[in-house]
Amino acid sequence: DYKDGKVNKRTTFLYDENGNKIKETEYDASDKVVKVSEYKYKGNLKVEKDVYDAKGVLKSKKTYQYETY
């Protein structure tokens, strides 16, 4: 992100061999980690998202369920 012509935040992404996003890291303007999101999959279906703060403390956990018909 940009504000007043300067970068105020950046995000990096890590993907597994299937192209699924497994990690997203947000950094502030001074390049310090602000938040890390980790994703887990079963096959190619996302089943969990964990969000950690800059100190590595778990802030939220979301699980995904899918129904088959």
Report the predicted TM-score, pTM, of the whole model to 2 decimal places: 0.84
| AA identity, residue 36 | V
pLDDT given for residue 43 in this prediction: 86
pLDDT given for residue 68 in this prediction: 81
pLDDT given for residue 21 in this prediction: 97
CB 39 within 8 A of CB 20: yes
d(CA 31, CA 28): 5
**Over its length of 69 residues, how does the chain's per-residue pLDDT go in tens digits?**
666 777 688 999 999 999 999 999 999 989 999 999 999 999 889 999 999 999 999 999 999 999 888
